[in-house]
A and B are shown apart, each in its own frame.
Chain A
């Protein structure tokens, strides 16, 4: 039979605004986290990572925040551009054994 997938959470922002994408992870022992960006028709691409001994890490226009108390990860994108439109996934791993992915958030950037 035909499988029916879930609708992705969608975040719509105006070009130039800041975006915040959230992720709740499942394993309190996870010690490394990654944000991936997936554009239509492409595989996921690495954006930024953070280890569990850090609370914040900044890249170019992107910041990842980690709150281990509530097992929450967020990705902040500054001055969002049309090229940022994509699906964003968080991934977690413990001791680089296996990576587990969240279901993703779709970011729509309106011009």
Chain B
């Protein structure tokens, strides 16, 4: 969904480096999410935010942190990257006021930690 933009699209980094993945949206949605996808596995929730001042841990938050800088921006940080954080990362948004709330995804960031 072009309304949900993730940067960078690809990133290669080394173990121990700090990495930030950024997500911005023009959909005007209040809720934002970060998911991780590993080969052959479903999407697993890392962190989510229902509003600018709201941050919640998901299933696999260890080793990650997030910042909701504005309603439209939600960034994911890896403070000290490790190889098993190599994965495809997706940002998603949703509108809590919609009758049937759906997730809208960005195109993903492929992260490789060497």
Report which A residues bind B (CB closer than 8 A). Answer: 1-3, 5-8, 32, 34, 36, 41-46, 49, 51, 89, 91, 93, 96, 98-104
**How many residue pairs between the two chains, A and B, have CB atoms under 8 Å in the bound complex?**
69
Chain B residues, Cβ within 8 Å of A100: 45
Interface size range of chain B in the complex: 20 to 34
Q: What is the minimal beta-carbon distance from B49 to any residue of chain A, in angstroms? A: 12
Tell me if A46 and B104 are in contact (CB < 8 A): yes
- Beta-carbon contact of A7 and B43 below 8 Å: no
Q: Known: A1-B83, A43-B1, A43-B106. Is A89-B43 also a contact (CB below 8 A)? A: yes
- SS class of chain A's interface: helix, strand, loop or mixed? loop
CA–CA, A89 and B86, complex, Å: 21
Given contacts A34-B103, A45-B105, contact A103 B83 (CB under 8 A): no
Chain B residue nearest to A102 in the complex (CB): B42
Residues of chain B lying within 8 A (CB to CB) of residue A102: 42
**Do residues B41 and A103 form an inter-chain contact, with CB atoms below 8 A?**
yes
Q: Are B103 and A99 in contact (CB under 8 A)?
A: yes
A2 touching B83 in the complex, CB below 8 Å, given contacts A42-B107, A43-B106, A103-B42: yes
Whether A103 contacts B107 in the complex (CB less than 8 A), given A32-B100, A98-B45, comes out as: no
Whether A103 contacts B40 by the Cβ 8 Å rule is: yes
* Residues from chain A with Cβ under 8 Å of B102 in the complex: 34, 46, 49
Q: Output the least CB separation between A27 and chain B (Å).
A: 14
When the two chains form the complex, which single residue of A36, A43, A45 contacts B108, counting CB atoms closer than 8 Å?
A: A43
Residue-wise interface mask of B (1-29) relative to A, using a CB-CB cutoff of 8 A (1 in contact, 0 not): 10010000000000000000000000000
Of B4, B42, B58, B104, the contact of A104 (CB 8 Å cutoff): B42
